[in-house]
Chain A
Amino acid sequence: MKSKRRLQLTTEIDVGAFSDIAFLLIIFFILTTSIIRISGQQLDLPTGEQSKEKQKENTLTIYINGARIHYGEADNAPVVSLLELRTRLLEADLKNKLDSKERMVILDSTKDVVYDLYFQVVSTISNAGGILALVEEDVKGSGEEKGQHDSAS
């Protein structure tokens, strides 16, 4: 009499494909990972506040009116292109000036100046070694404009 052997059903999970899946995932991550590179310009801003009148004494001022860049503090100052601005700032040799007051550049602009142009001017000034002083309008309407000094240089 044949002894009947119970067929034991094995409960094995076939793990042969796991390594294939793992390698596919690795390839996926390698192909989709992108190395983020940030490009920018660190601003050099002085500390403290001063009135604009005091600041303007012998200080280079750049005024942006809409899409026009004026090399000077008012609308009647000469209009320059970005390239001309870069050239003039390099000629001013701001990087080699020892006194930080001589490196200061006041940037004033109208309210409708788009950030793209503002960014380009700010980058040009910072790249030329200038210390940027931003002009803040007095919100309370006293009529006095304050030159804002910002973070430590």
Chain B
Amino acid sequence: MIRRRKRKPPVIPIASMGDIAFLLIIFFMLTSNFMKNRSIELEEPTSADIQEVKKTQVSVTVDRDCVLRLQGEVCDLEMLEGGVNALTKDADDKRVQLKIDKNLTKEEYIGVFLALSRANAKIVLVGQPEAE
């Protein structure tokens, strides 16, 4: 009488795959930065003379409705200098990212430049490279 061995199919334990998956999710959730400025409506100006720059800790935006924001929060022009001073006072990086809607006129944006310069901030103007 011939006895056939029952071949057991090879088993790959996959019990830990769920754990790995959840660890990866937690990793991505912790390392991704939410885009806080998505709700700010502005068109960035373009230039051929700009290059990639490092992200700064402080950001100032002036949107198409001429609303001034410091770190995403609405701010008055009079408060801008003090606010930037407070943020850059003890920081090694005194660069301030400045994003202004391309359709604003000089009288609407020049005050921001002057306020930032009085705060001794290093202004980084943000725009889009010109399409070739």
Contact = CB atoms under 8 A, between A and B. Distances in A.
Interface of A: 15, 18-19, 22-23, 25-26, 29-30, 33, 36-43, 45, 47, 86, 109-116, 118-120, 122-124, 126-127, 134, 136, 148-152
Contacts of B110: 134, 136
Contacts of A25: 21, 25
B72 to A, nearest CB: 14
Interface in B20-50: 21-22, 24-25, 28-29, 32-33, 35, 45-47, 49-50
Indicate the size class of the contact surface on chain B. Answer: 35 or more
Contacts of A43: 122-125
Interface of B: 14, 17-18, 21-22, 24-25, 28-29, 32-33, 35, 45-47, 49-55, 94-95, 97, 100-107, 109-110, 113-114, 116-129
Contacts of B95: 42
Contact of A41 (B29, B50, B101, B117): B50
**Residue with the greatest number of chain B CB neighbours at <10 A, chosen from A22, A29, A152:** A22
Contacts of B94: 151
Nearest to B101: A115
Contacts of A29: 25, 28-29, 32
Given A15-B18, A114-B102, A41 B49 contact: yes
A150 B45 contact: no
B117 A119 contact: no
A150 B125 contact: no
A38 B102 contact: no
Given A25-B25, A116-B102, 17 more contacts: A22-B18, A22-B25, A40-B53, A41-B124, A42-B95, A45-B123, A110-B106, A115-B106, A119-B45, A119-B100, A122-B125, A126-B49, A134-B117, A148-B117, A150-B123, A151-B116, A152-B120
